[in-house]
Every structure is written in structure tokens, then in C-alpha cells.
Amino acid sequence: MNEFELIDVFLEAFALRPPPAGPGDDAAVLPPTPRAQVVTTDAVVEGVHFSRRTFSLGDVGHKALAVNLSDVAAMGARPTWALCALQLPVGVTASEVRALSAGMAALAAAHGVSLVGGNVTRGRELSVTVTVAGEVPSGRRPLTRKGARPGHRVYVSGPLGSAAAGVEVLSAAAARGPGPVKVERAWDALVAAQRRPSPHVRWGLEASRFASSSIDVSDGLVQDLSHVCDASGVGVALTSGALPVLEALLLWCESERDVLRAALTGGEDYVLAVTVPPSRCRAFERRLSRLGFGAFPIGVVTKARGLTVDGRRFEGRSGFQHFGEGSARRR
Amino acid sequence: MNEFELIDVFLEAFALRPPPAGPGDDAAVLPPTPRAQVVTTDAVVEGVHFSRRTFSLGDVGHKALAVNLSDVAAMGARPTWALCALQLPVGVTASEVRALSAGMAALAAAHGVSLVGGNVTRGRELSVTVTVAGEVPSGRRPLTRKGARPGHRVYVSGPLGSAAAGVEVLSAAAARGPGPVKVERAWDALVAAQRRPSPHVRWGLEASRFASSSIDVSDGLVQDLSHVCDASGVGVALTSGALPVLEALLLWCESERDVLRAALTGGEDYVLAVTVPPSRCRAFERRLSRLGFGAFPIGVVTKARGLTVDGRRFEGRSGFQHFGEGSARRR
């Protein structure tokens, strides 16, 4: 397939607007907007974020968009459009491209995101770089990492550590030998968290009515909260018993200590972590609960800098870094 | 270096706004805009678009942004902000990242483009994916590929075939043996066109007052004009003698035929090709000339579909495709 045929195959699954609002011109044209916009870009790369043995191409397409939607969600914005830059190995087949596209298109449709353009190039490894924009609802401000004040409560939007355990499950399954990777049903939720994270877009939109700061947990809770602490000039005191985890994580881990480590440092959960002023906590919890969403209080913002867990200063590996030892150990 | 250190080094060369307008949050926040916006994304990949032997990292940084600015220019828009997603091999050094960044930052500054965010990940090969947005000047419409009508004249903004010849010059120099690649001064202009293309942003902005359609010549004149023909439902008749080329191209090519082939099918020139209604041609040419820009009339739009050169239907390889035979032959 040549470049243009690949593009046509990739675009089949998407509901596209005609150019210049959709793909087909040198750039996509977007109408003026009276609202503030947020933009972000993130990539998933073969051999770094996934392997072809443990991820389907549909998973890859889903995840490449999901990690960006999570960033938009963290800003309290509603995702609007996306651009997708594909780097495809020579010899990629139409059905592979179709699978990749289907995974991304389904998630885009679920969130009302329009694919407005992109790019295709060759590369030795498969990589998908997505750019997503969102708009800040009128009358609201975008959430940022700055704004946490001592006394504000820290909440997360879902269970922690699942995606990191999912990597372990998949690695263990792959190590059992060649051929298709088979995973026991017991670990489905962990594997799903790794392959098909659900960006908490609606949660972030609701949180933006109440929260003082926000971040998405992509590199591990401790590391991501440390960014909030740095930007806001504060610290955080976490309560280990309050960290939400899946039952499957408890079963997978050999010790309580491993569970805690996964919850504190495991990357790629793509849940949101926000801080809420005490005066707004009750309304926040009520609102989220009325919508059927969890909002898990896990700690409190402190004047003292640094991060503590159950009163002890947290030391140790702080999350998922692509270039540090951590990442070499991870995959 | 870990991920965060790499990001810090990369950002040093840029004039950054503080977050959330600049890098440092989960997404960058942009103010509302009363003007239509254009957005595009494009990548340069090691082994596909450049090799480390024949490109400096500064060249790579420059080119990754330039190819996107060219797309914005083709739309008749003024570039405003950029996102940069880097894929860096393990072991990349701070000075390499600094060189990459310097090349990109200088071009961004020259065009008043703000880097608002990005991403860094590992990868086996170096690749740089840039997203650029632009705004359409008030009272004007974006230029697209649709709008060319029979009788409109076809213009390009600069010499053709130079960048493709630049690849040949660099390949020949690299084939002479190991060690640093040395190029004779006579071919400097060809090599510069390949390594450091100048996006014709101002030209595109001016052209948008007059032109009926536009595209940037990235895949080769014939291929790119065929997109205009398809979108507009027309054909184009080119005059070979009118195609602007550098003197260096005439010297480099062994025959007139090779010159013509380079001008018609050579990719990556990043000049603009526009069509202008006959009634506006004089004003267009005068305006461009007053600004010191060239506007080279190379042919005319025809009712008959297809592309002719000196009256003969053009057949043959139609440009630079990443997955077709052409690209395998090119590098």
C-alpha cells in the first residue's frame, strides 16, 4: 500500500467532516471559538508503551487517543478535535491499519471527538502520536497543577496501580512461551486498565466546578502529585488505607507492600487526581455520586513540602520515566 | 538523563510563556480566538526523512517545524503555536537535544510561533512530530485545494527540484566513505533546500488575498497539483520552460531531462503552488514583487482533467510516497 491508500484505509472507521473542516487539505480549518482551548500531544511507541505480542492494534489505537483525552480531562475541558500522526513499519497490512483505526475511532466517537487531520510516515517501529484539543466550558476556568492550598483534600477518580499490574500480567503471560498471549480471566481488569484505559473526561468536567488543582495520573501517583506540589508550593499527606485499588490487584500482588507500591508508583492508570477546598468537598462528593462516579479521598494538602504516606516521608522510585532506570526495569 | 531532564534541556532555547499558556500542565491553555484556526501535524523520522550522517540535529529540528509551517502557509494562515512530540533513542546526549532544540527554536522565533507543549518518549529511531496551528487573517478565507477554475493561472513561490537534488548530493557524499560528510560549495543551495527548507509563510499570507486554491509542494509538483485538480475537478497544463529551478540544479543534473524530472517530481521543496484568477494576476504579481518575493507562473488550469507538460500528458512516477517503490529508490 502506498501512503495515500494507507490514509484512506485508516480514515474509513471515522465519521469525518469534508475538507477543509476534516482531513484532505494541507491543514484543517476550525471555526473561531469564544471559549478557551486546551491542546496536548502524546505518543504510544512500540517497544516502549506496548509490544505487538501483548497489545492488539485496536488496543494501540484506543490507547493513543485515550492518553491524550486523559490530559484534556485533567484540565477540566471537553475534547473537541484530534490529529493523528502515524509511523508505520513497511509491510503493514490494510487489516492491521483497519484494526488500529477501529480502536481509535470507537473511542473518538464515544467522546464526540472529530479527527480533523493527520500524517502517515514509515518508521522502523509502530508509533502513534495524537494531538487533542478541548474547550473549557463557558464560565469556567481550566484546571491546572497550580492552586492546591494547605487543607484542601486530595481525591482520585478511580483505582490505582491496575495498569502497572497489567504490564506484569502480560509480561508473565508472554514469558510462558511463543504464540498468542493468554491471560487468565482473573486478571482481565488489570490487563484492560493497561490496554484500554478509560479517560475520565466527564469526571474532569464535573470536577472543574469544584477543584483547586488537577493532574492525570500517568507516571504514577507520587510522581504526578509531586508536580502538583511543585506548581502549588505545597506538600501532600496520603493515607495508604484510602488508596482505591481493584480486588484483582490485591489478588495479583504477593504482599500488602506490593499493593501499596503499585498504587503509589504504578504508571498509566489515567485516573485524575484533584484537590478540593474543604468547603466544597461535600458538594463535590454529592455531585459525583449523583452521576454514579466515584471520588476517592486519599489525603490532604499540607503546608510542609514533600509527600508523606501515613505520616512517613515517601522515598523511592517515583514513577514511570522513559529514560531513567525505572523504565528499563519495567519492560 | 531522565524524561524531565530531557524536557528541560529541550525547552532552554525557546521563549516560553509560563504554564498553563506554555508547557508545564497536562495541556496548554489558549485564549478564545475570534478568527478561524488551521491545524496540521507532520513528522520527520530518522532513516526515512534524514540520516544522522547527512543531517545535523539542528537541521532535524528546523525541518520538523518547517514542514508544518509550510502547510500553514499553504492555507494562507499565520502560524501561532506549536506542540512538539519527540521520540529519542536511549543514550541521546544533552548536547544533541540542545542542538535539535536550537534548530527548531530559531525557526519558531523567526515566525513568532510559541511552543506551548509537547511530549518526550523513547524510541529506536529519532523522530520529531510537530503540530502547528495558525490563524486566518480577519476578513479572509483559508486557502484550500478546492477553488481552481479553468483559465486560472498556476504560480509557484520558488525553485523546484532543489531538495530532491540535495538528497542525491548528500547520498553521493556519504557514499564516498565513512566519516563526516563533505559537500562541495557548488551544491550548498541544493543541500540547504533539503536540510533547511524555508517555509513561505509571508508569501502564503499575501497569496491568500488573490489565490483561488493553494497547496504546498511537499511530495513533488505533479503529485501535489494532482490533489488540487482532484479537489477542484480540473486539470493543469504546465510549461516546462517556465518551471523555476536553481542554477545549481542545472549544474548537478546530467541532462535537461533530469532537470525536468526533478522539477516535476522532486519532493520536499516546500514551496507553495497556487492558482489565481486571470483578473487578479497582475495585482498579485505586483504585490508579491513589491515585497521582494518571486511569483513564478508555470501554467494554466484546464477544463480537461489530468496534467500535461508542454501539451503532452504527464505519465510516470508522481512524487514522493513513503510506502511506494519511489521511496525505496530514494533513500
Q: Check whether residue A60 and residue A10 sit in a common domain.
A: yes
Is the pLDDT reported for residue B321 higher than 70? Answer: no
Q: Check whether residue A54 and residue A172 sit in a common domain.
A: no
Distance CA A331, CA A48 (A): 7
Q: Check whether residue A228 and residue A103 sit in a common domain.
A: no
Q: Check whether residue A60 and residue A123 sit in a common domain.
A: yes
Question: How many CB atoms lie under 10 A from the CB of residue B321?
Answer: 23
Distance CA A216, CA A73 (A): 8
Phi (first) and psi of residue B322, to 5 degrees? -70, -25
Q: Check whether residue A276 and residue A131 sit in a common domain.
A: no
Strand A306-309 versus strand A235-238 pairing type = parallel
CB-nearest partner of B118 from A41, A84, A134: A41
Question: In chain A, what residues touch B38 (CB-CB under 8 Å)?
Answer: 20, 27-30
Domain assignment present for residue A70? The answer is yes
Phi (first) and psi of residue A229, to 5 degrees? -60, -45
Q: Check whether residue B161 and residue B109 sit in a common domain.
A: no
Domain assignment present for residue A75? The answer is yes
**Which range of residues forms the domain containing residue A249?**
153-330
Phi (first) and psi of residue A262, to 5 degrees? -60, -45
Last residue in a domain, options B135, B166, B187: B135
Q: Check whether residue B162 and residue B285 sit in a common domain.
A: yes
Q: Which pLDDT tens digit goes with each residue over A64-113?
A: 999 999 999 999 999 999 999 999 999 899 999 999 999 999 999 999 99
* Mean of all residue pLDDT scores within chain B: 94
Choice between B3 and B151, residue whose per-residue pLDDT is larger:
B151
Question: How many CB atoms lie under 10 A from the CB of residue A4?
Answer: 16
Domain assignment present for residue B329? The answer is no
Q: Check whether residue B179 and residue B251 sit in a common domain.
A: yes
Question: Does B39 sit within 8 Å of A131, measured CB to CB?
Answer: yes
Residues forming a β-bridge with A81: A114, A133
CB distance B244 to B159 below 8 Å = yes
Q: Which pLDDT tens digit goes with each residue over B95-148?
A: 999 999 999 999 999 999 999 999 999 999 999 999 999 999 999 999 999 999
Domain assignment present for residue A140? The answer is no
Q: Residue A129: CB partners within 8 Å, gap ≥ 6?
A: A41, A42, A43, A64, A84, A85, A86, A87, B41, B43, B85, B119, B129
- Assign residue B207 the CATH number of its domain: 3.90.650.10
Domain assignment present for residue A236? The answer is yes
CB distance B103 to B59 below 8 Å = yes
Q: Check whether residue B19 and residue B88 sit in a common domain.
A: yes
Place of cell 478546492: B146
Domain assignment present for residue A14? The answer is yes
Q: Residue A172: CB partners within 8 Å, gap ≥ 6?
A: none
Calculate what percentage of chain B has a pLDDT beyond 90. 91
Identify the pLDDT of residue A323: 53
Identify the pLDDT of residue B81: 98
Q: Check whether residue A197 and residue A236 sit in a common domain.
A: yes
Last residue in a domain, options A85, A102, A135: A135
Question: How many CB atoms lie under 10 A from the CB of residue B149?
Answer: 15
Is the pLDDT reported for residue A193 higher than 90? Answer: yes
Question: Does A124 sit within 8 Å of B323, measured CB to CB?
Answer: no
Is the pLDDT reported for residue A330 higher than 80? Answer: no
The alpha carbon of residue B45 is apart from the nearest alpha carbon of chain A, in Å, by: 7
What's the pLDDT band for B3 if we cut at 50, 70, 90?
confident
Q: How many domains does chain B have?
A: 2
Q: Check whether residue B225 and residue B252 sit in a common domain.
A: yes
Is the pLDDT reported for residue B331 higher than 70? Answer: no
Question: Does A31 sit within 8 Å of B122, measured CB to CB?
Answer: no
Beta strand spans in chain A (E): 28-30, 37-45, 78-88, 114-122, 127-135, 153-156, 213-217, 235-238, 271-276, 296-302, 306-309, 312-313
Identify the pLDDT of residue A321: 52
* Mean of all residue pLDDT scores within chain A: 94
Does residue A321 belong to the interface with chain B, where contact is any CB pair within 8 Å? yes
Phi (first) and psi of residue A305, to 5 degrees? -70, 165
Task: Enumerate residues 80 to 139 of chain A having a beta carbon within 8 A of any beta carbon in chain B.
Answer: 81, 83-85, 87-88, 90, 116-125, 127, 129, 131, 133-134, 136
Structure-block grid coordinates of residue A10 = 485508516
Question: How many CB atoms lie under 10 A from the CB of residue B311?
Answer: 8
Q: What is the ipTM of this complex?
A: 0.92
Q: Check whether residue B168 and residue B221 sit in a common domain.
A: yes
Three-state secondary structure readout of B233-267: CCEEEECHHHCCCCHHHHHHCCCHHHHHHHHHHCC
Last residue in a domain, options B135, B163, B195: B135
Structure-block grid coordinates of residue A125 = 517501529
Domain assignment present for residue A9? The answer is yes
Question: In chain B, what residues touch A117 (CB-CB under 8 Å)?
Answer: 39-41
Question: In chain B, what residues touch A27 (CB-CB under 8 Å)?
Answer: 38-40, 71-72, 74-75, 77, 134, 142
Domain assignment present for residue A102? The answer is yes
Answer yes or no: pTM beyond 0.90.
yes
CB distance A27 to B145 below 8 Å = no
